[in-house]
C-alpha cells in the first residue's frame, strides 16, 4: 500500500520551526515511520538537496496536492496527523476522527499548468516561477487556499491565477541607462527644427501651410489683447519731469500747486488729513521694513538684533507723516528713536500722532545730543516742509541735518520738497504721494505710494488718471 503513493505531490507541515515542505513522494517506510520527498521545496523555495526525509514525529499535517496513481488509502504514520482514507479523486473519509483536518495547513501551490509525464506515469515536481520564489523568504508564511477539495481543483485555480509564460520573466534588472543612451535628444530636436525650417514655419504634424504660432515667455499672456497704452496719465502742464514704472507706464510729475489742489479736492470728498496720514504711514513703514531686510531680518529668532531707525521730524504735516510711520515701525518690533524739537504751538495732527506713538514704547527726544552716536540701520527724514523754507535756518534743523549727514546710515525721505529747494540731507530713497513732484538729483531713487485718491478726484483737477500701482501700494519710478 505504501508504494501506491510514490509519485504523488504532497505538502508536509512540520510546524513553525521547520516550516512547510512540498515535493514528490519518493518512498514511504512504515517500519521506520518515515516519508521521503524528491525535488523538495521549503516554504516556496527550492531546496539545494535532491531529497528530504521526514520522521512521523516531526510531521504536524500532511496534505495531498495531486494523486498520480490509483490508490485507496494513505499509509499510516504513527505520530502524524494522517489518519484518514482518501479516494483517488481526493475525497476523505475520517476513520479516527481525532486528528486535525488534512487541509487545515496553508501550502505553496505550483504555478505550472501542465507538468510533463515521465516514464511510469510519474510527473516531476512542478517548476516554481522565478518571481514567486524570489519574492518570498525562507521563513515567510504562504497564502491560504481555502475551499479546494482535491488536487485537480487546486491546479485549475493555479492556472487561472498565474497563467502561462511565467518562466519567461528575466532574472537581470532592466538597464535604464543603456536604454536611455539609445535616445539621441540633440539629434531628434535638430531633426524637428530642420523639418520646420523646410516647411517655412509650418508644423510637420499640422495642416500644410499652417503657420507656427508665436512663442511666448512664461510671463506673457497668450490671449490676444489690445495694444498697451503706456501713457495713461495726462496732466495739464507741459514740459514737466516724467518718470516710468517697471512695466513701462509713464508717470508725469505735477507742480506743488496742482498737488495742493489735488489734496484739497480729495479732502472735500472725505479723504481727510487723518486718513492720508494713516495711509502714508502704512506705505512708508512697509517700504522701510523692506529696506531693513524684511523677513530675513525681522524674525522671532532674531529678537537680539532688532533694527534701529532714527526718525527726524519737523513741526508740519510732513513731520506728522513721519510720526505715523514711526508708530507702525514700532508696532513691528523696530527700535524707533523719534526726534522732534519742543515747540510752544504744534499742529493738532502732530499732537494726536505723538499721543499714539507714546503707546508703542518708542523713544522720543527733542535734542540732537540724545540721538545715537553710533550708526543706525536707517534714517527717515521728515524735516522739510513744502511751504515753510525758513525752518532750514533754525539751529535745531541744522543740527539734525548735520547729524544725519555724519551718521553713515542710509536715508529715506518722505514727501520731500520740489527741486527748486535744496536738500539739506542727501537721501538714498524718496517717497512721493499720489503723483510725484519734480524732484532733484539729491532726492535719490524715487518711489511712489498710493494714498487712496479716487480717479474722479484726479479728473476734477484736470488729470486723466489710470492707476499705475497694479497689485502694490508702493512702486519704484525711473527717471526718463
Helix axes 317-331, 273-291, angle to 10 degrees: 50
Q: Does 51 fall in a domain?
A: yes
Largest CA distance in the chain: 130
Q: Do 258 and 395 fall within a single domain?
A: yes
Contacts of 471 (CB under 8 A, 6+ apart): none
Q: What is the pTM of this model?
A: 0.55
The last residue of a domain, from among 210, 232, 260: 210
- The confidence band for 360, taking pLDDT boundaries of 50, 70 and 90, is very high
| 217 vs 394 pLDDT, higher one | 394
Q: Do 419 and 385 fall within a single domain?
A: yes
Q: Does 104 fall in a domain?
A: yes
Q: Do 204 and 253 fall within a single domain?
A: no
- The confidence band for 239, taking pLDDT boundaries of 50, 70 and 90, is low
Distance, in Å, from the CA atom of 366 to the CA atom of 351, rounded to the nearest integer, reads 15
Q: Does 215 fall in a domain?
A: no
Distance, in Å, from the CA atom of 460 to the CA atom of 226, rounded to the nearest integer, reads 28
Q: Do 289 and 405 fall within a single domain?
A: yes
Distance, in Å, from the CA atom of 129 to the CA atom of 329, rounded to the nearest integer, reads 74
The last residue of a domain, from among 137, 168, 199: 168
Q: Does 216 fall in a domain?
A: no
475 closest CA partner among 266, 241, 249: 249
User: What share of the chain in percent tops pLDDT 90?
Assistant: 40
Could you identify the residue written with the cell 490671449?
223
Q: What is the dihedral of CA 394, 395, 397, 401, to 10 degrees?
A: 140
CATH code of residue 24: 2.30.30.100
Range of the domain at 113: 2-168
Contacts of 291 (CB under 8 A, 6+ apart): 378, 410, 412, 429
φ/ψ region of 145 (left if φ > 0, alpha if ψ in -120 to 50, else beta) reads beta
Q: Does 236 fall in a domain?
A: no
What is the count of structural domains for the chain?
3
- Sequence length of the chain is 480
| 460 vs 111 pLDDT, higher one | 460
Q: Do 193 and 280 fall within a single domain?
A: no
Which one of 44-48, 115-119, 310-314, 416-420 scores highest in mean pLDDT?
Answer: 310-314
Distance, in Å, from the CA atom of 11 to the CA atom of 246, rounded to the nearest integer, reads 81
- The confidence band for 412, taking pLDDT boundaries of 50, 70 and 90, is very high
Q: Do 157 and 284 fall within a single domain?
A: no
Q: Do 156 and 192 fall within a single domain?
A: no
The answer to whether residues 312 and 323 touch, using CB atoms and an 8 Å cutoff, is no
| 455 vs 201 pLDDT, higher one | 455
Question: Reduced to 3 states, what is the DSSP secondary structure of residue 177?
Answer: helix
353 closest CA partner among 381, 325, 329, 334: 325
Asked whether the predicted pLDDT for residue 132 surpasses 50, the reply is: no
- The confidence band for 441, taking pLDDT boundaries of 50, 70 and 90, is confident
Q: How far apart are the first and last CA of the chain?
A: 112
CATH code of residue 408: 3.40.50.10260
Q: Does 111 fall in a domain?
A: yes
Q: Does 43 fall in a domain?
A: yes
Asked whether the predicted pLDDT for residue 130 surpasses 50, the reply is: no
Helix axes 348-357, 273-291, angle to 10 degrees: 50
Q: Do 346 and 397 fall within a single domain?
A: yes
Res 45: pLDDT: 87
Would you give the DSSP letter of residue 341? -
The dihedral sign for the CA sequence 14, 16, 18, 20: positive
Res 364: pLDDT: 95
Res 227: pLDDT: 76
Q: Do 364 and 454 fall within a single domain?
A: yes
The alpha helices in 32-113, defined as continuous H runs, are none
126 closest CA partner among 163, 155, 104: 155
Distance, in Å, from the CA atom of 62 to the CA atom of 54, rounded to the nearest integer, reads 11
The answer to whether residues 248 and 231 touch, using CB atoms and an 8 Å cutoff, is no
Distance, in Å, from the CA atom of 315 to the CA atom of 165, rounded to the nearest integer, reads 94
Contacts of 212 (CB under 8 A, 6+ apart): 196, 201, 202, 203
The last residue of a domain, from among 139, 168, 197: 168
Q: Do 302 and 205 fall within a single domain?
A: no
The answer to whether residues 109 and 102 touch, using CB atoms and an 8 Å cutoff, is no
Q: Do 154 and 184 fall within a single domain?
A: no
Look over the chain and give the mean of its residue pLDDT values, rounded to a whole number. Answer: 78
Res 419: pLDDT: 58
Q: Do 27 and 42 fall within a single domain?
A: yes
Q: Does 296 fall in a domain?
A: yes
The answer to whether residues 409 and 376 touch, using CB atoms and an 8 Å cutoff, is yes
Amino acid at each position: 500500500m505504501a508504494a501506491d503513493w510514490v509519485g504523488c505531490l504532497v505538502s508536509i507541515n512540520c510546524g513553525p520551526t521547520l516550516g512547510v515542505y512540498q515535493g514528490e513522494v519518493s518512498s514511504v517506510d512504515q517500519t521506520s515511520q518515515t516519508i521521503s520527498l524528491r525535488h523538495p521545496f521549503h516554504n516556496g523555495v527550492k531546496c539545494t538537496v535532491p531529497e528530504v526525509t521526514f520522521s512521523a514525529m516531526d510531521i504536524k499535517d500532511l496534505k495531498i496536492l495531486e494523486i498520480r496513481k490509483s490508490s485507496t488509502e494513505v499509509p499510516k504514520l504513527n505520530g502524524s496527523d494522517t489518519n484518514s482514507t482518501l479516494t483517488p479523486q481526493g475525497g476523505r473519509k475520517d476513520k479516527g476522527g481525532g486528528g486535525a483536518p488534512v487541509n487545515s495547513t496553508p501550502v505553496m501551490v505550483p504555478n505550472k499548468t501542465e507538468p510533463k509525464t515521465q516514464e511510469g506515469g510519474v510527473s516531476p515536481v512542478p517548476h516554481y516561477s522565478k518571481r514567486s520564489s524570489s519574492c518570498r523568504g525562507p521563513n515567510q508564511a504562504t497564502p491560504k487556499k481555502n475551499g479546494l477539495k482535491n488536487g485537480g481543483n487546486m491546479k485549475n485555480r493555479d492556472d487561472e491565477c498565474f497563467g502561462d509564460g511565467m518562466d519567461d520573466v528575466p532574472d537581470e534588472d532592466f538597464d535604464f541607462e543603456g536604454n536611455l543612451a539609445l535616445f539621441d535628444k540633440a539629434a531628434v530636436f535638430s531633426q524637428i527644427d530642420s523639418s520646420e525650417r523646410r516647411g517655412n514655419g509650418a508644423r510637420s504634424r499640422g495642416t500644410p501651410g499652417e503657420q507656427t504660432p508665436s512663442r511666448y515667455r512664461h510671463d506673457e499672456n497668450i490671449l490676444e489683447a489690445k495694444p498697451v497704452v503706456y501713457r495713461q496719465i495726462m496732466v495739464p502742464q507741459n514740459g514737466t519731469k516724467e518718470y516710468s514704472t517697471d512695466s513701462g507706464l509713464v508717470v508725469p510729475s505735477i507742480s506743488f500747486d496742482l498737488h495742493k489742489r489735488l489734496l484739497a479736492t480729495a479732502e472735500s470728498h472725505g479723504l481727510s488729513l487723518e486718513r492720508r496720514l494713516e495711509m502714508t504711514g502704512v506705505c512708508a513703514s512697509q517700504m522701510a521694513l523692506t529696506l531693513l531686510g524684511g523677513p530675513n531680518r525681522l524674525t522671532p529668532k532674531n529678537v537680539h538684533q532688532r533694527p534701529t531707525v532714527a526718525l527726524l521730524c519737523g513741526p508740519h504735516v510732513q513731520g506728522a507723516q513721519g510720526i505715523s510711520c514711526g508708530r507702525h515701525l514700532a508696532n513691528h518690533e523696530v527700535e524707533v528713536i523719534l526726534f522732534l524739537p519742543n515747540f510752544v504751538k504744534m499742529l493738532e495732527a502732530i499732537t494726536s500722532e505723538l499721543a499714539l506713538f507714546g503707546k508703542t514704547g518708542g523713544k522720543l527726544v527733542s535734542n540732537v545730543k540724545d540721538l545715537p552716536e553710533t550708526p543706525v540701520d536707517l534714517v527717515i527724514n521728515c524735516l522739510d516742509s513744502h511751504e515753510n523754507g525758513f525752518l532750514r535756518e533754525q539751529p535745531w534743523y541744522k543740527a539734525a541735518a548735520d547729524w544725519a549727514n555724519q551718521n553713515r546710515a542710509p536715508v529715506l525721505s518722505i514727501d520731500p520738497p520740489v527741486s527748486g529747494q535744496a536738500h539739506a540731507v542727501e537721501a538714498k530713497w524718496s517717497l512721493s504721494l499720489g503723483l510725484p513732484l519734480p524732484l532733484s538729483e539729491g532726492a535719490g531713487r524715487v518711489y511712489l505710494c498710493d494714498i487712496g485718491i479716487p480717479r474722479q478726484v484726479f479728473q476734477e483737477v484736470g488729470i486723466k488718471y489710470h492707476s499705475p500701482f497694479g497689485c502694490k501700494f508702493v512702486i519704484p519710478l525711473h527717471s526718463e
